Structure 1
């Protein structure tokens, strides 16, 4: 009787352990460093893949693929497919893991400063894509043109070769040029992408956090940047330039942020 009771209890605890372990084992991994402890044999390693989303496409096209690793290793983009869940993959330098079920996978080309190709918030503007926010450090504006709305303020910035950021608040348009940190990145002098990314990374790590603070966006003053948390866009209107993308945002009551990169306009709420 005693042995039978003990066997029953052990069996019950075993079943409970399996049930409890199930959700943990199947927990989805999306864009995180792998934490597995056992080496896994790759299913396939396609070449010429430059973004995590493209790597996901390769995985979805392979019926045996359940997860993949992606990132920049020694200057080379790596896409590695596996037939096990991402939670089983062991750590590898600069590579991040995704399960095939992940629904929001970035299409960002990795750099030395962002080897995992993860989404990053825009913290500095460029003349081609000026930031709708005062730059970090609250520099003095380089100009305050007399205009009546946000779109006209953006147009003034686009018409000023030194302008990389702008704001329109309380009826006042302010244009801003490169800060000392921005010039240090070598963007204005045509420095390489890797060097620019490293300078930006160093500046971010040495600041008091102001650079990484995201300005508050509203429909009246939408932010020209991807909101924190990298949400999916609410719309991708077919427009040809940044000003038209801003106009699309202003025409959408739910829009508080927008981006125009590589010919694609994205609106966010």
Structure 2
């Protein structure tokens, strides 16, 4: 934690505090929708903040409202006043209905593809073309948010799904490495595609350390795989495999780690 970070920064508690102190969320539903946490995890975070006397409930409101301590409010207000514009993000409001709809869609996709696997363990494995197809359709199915971490991004159908999904109602974020290649012509082509992503509404964040391949959509479904966002990997030239999960705690852990990369950039 750097000296200028507010208390709880880089954690779910910090995101709850930000939702209240900076984004203006007040009720249980408003705050939960901005975190996208499962009710069980969200209530646990609230309980921890209550125990630390960082949060209070206004019972005279209908519905009940929440406020953070004055000290925390000041910390977060002052931090965001000084934060560079490119580091600021608009609040994402993912309702439980959005999340439930996405999870139900998995069944539809499975039937359409003629696949036979159980969703009872809340995780399933995909490989090759099925992994690529699912990942692309999942991104295009997003209602509010797409988070992608991938070190190698070039133009292909899967990477095109990022800009196709981006609009004023959805926040699409890509954390990747800056384009590199031994051949200058190919490097420039990659750089041009990254600019296209940015111009079409994708927030592109560079971090030279990333090597994970993660996708999280609407904080409800996540994919952890070996697949890069380029034609040789997503297009089938190399064999790729990955796990899909809809388990609340696993998805929340993945989203948490992605947000840590955003909240604590490589430069800090």
Q: TM-score, normalised by structure 2?
A: 0.22
The structure richer in helix per residue is 2
User: Larger radius of gyration, structure 1 or 2?
Assistant: 1
Structure with higher RCO (Cα < 8 A, 6+ apart)? 2
